[in-house]
Copies of this chain bind each other. A is one copy, B any other.
């Protein structure tokens, strides 16, 4: 057995032994992260152009298209997550509730506790649930590294677009394991910017994407974390971990995704790091702008864009027997 393998196996440690470091950038709610961008697709933010079109409905056809778009991505990420009636679910880092809404809608008989460090985000999330008639979610301001819950007090844990911002994701996962009852599940969803490729290919576009990656790394995060969910969950001590990739493939036969994902979500997210990337000396302005132009070029008739999210589900204290469930 290799040294590395030994190290991994030795890290199947009890949950309680994990440390409790402080969290820095987890709740960054700006538009340069998935949390910031994707709430635009799943939610109804007042400051959101796409959602305003939905709320005010000034163009019914556009409205319908954007709802389809939101539905496509929400379905891609969440369609196979449903919790039994009466079960208790902790959602960690709910932000403004973009994922809370589809989660709660798909499991109307489950009781959700959704936490975030930002009181402002929680207020917005509460408003959103109220408007949607959702009554099975309780919000609470709390930090993932100082959870105000008893051990083994939840049947399930759900965490989406949070681990990518955490310096110690394994420790965070282990702490979540502490509040999970034996036999319960943890579900984690993350993107992976290194999964991005497109046609026409463009070194400048890859350079621009690398700026986002580097800035997120400097802030203590890991935007390539999607591919690492399996080893991270195993290292945190979860059993029977299964990871499934959720690839977004976009060509011009799918105009909803061209506009809603490639242009307004991914490319807009990269555009959002222009100033910090240039200020940090990561790239020349002309190179960055060429990269963004080439990302937009992939939205033309002969363009193609690919990105992959990863979804992991693990169990607490079941051994490997649940692997094929």
Contact = CB atoms under 8 A, between A and B. Distances in A.
A228 B199 contact: yes
Interface in A195-250: 195, 197-199, 201, 224, 227-228, 230-231, 234-235, 241-245, 247, 249
A115 to B, nearest CB: 29
A212 B234 CA distance: 33
A247 B198 CA distance: 15
Contacts of A8: 301-302
A304 B226 CA distance: 10
A176 to B, nearest CB: 20
A2 interface: yes
B241 A253 contact: yes
Contact of A234 (B9, B302, B308, B323): B302
Contacts of A5: 300-302
A197 B223 CA distance: 14
Interface in A145-202: 192, 194-195, 197-199, 201
A306 interface: yes
Contact of A304 (B199, B227, B306): B227
A199 to B, nearest CB: 5
A161 B287 CA distance: 35
A8 B300 CA distance: 10
A201 B224 contact: yes
Contact of A251 (B199, B230, B249): B230
A75 to B, nearest CB: 16
A63 interface: no
Interface size classification for chain A: 35 or more
A226 to B, nearest CB: 9
Contacts of A105: none
Nearest to A306: B227
A4 interface: yes
B249 A253 contact: no
B253 A245 contact: no
Contacts of A253: 230, 241-243, 323
12 contacts: A5-B300, A8-B302, A194-B197, A199-B224, A227-B304, A230-B251, A230-B253, A231-B303, A243-B251, A243-B253, A247-B247, A247-B308
Interface of A: 2, 4-5, 8-9, 192, 194-195, 197-199, 201, 224, 227-228, 230-231, 234-235, 241-245, 247, 249, 251-253, 300-304, 306, 308, 323
Counting from the closest, the 5 A-B pairs by CB-CB distance are A231-B302, A230-B251, A245-B249, A5-B301, A199-B227
Given A199-B227, A235-B302, 10 more contacts: A4-B301, A5-B300, A192-B197, A195-B306, A199-B228, A228-B304, A230-B253, A231-B251, A245-B306, A306-B308
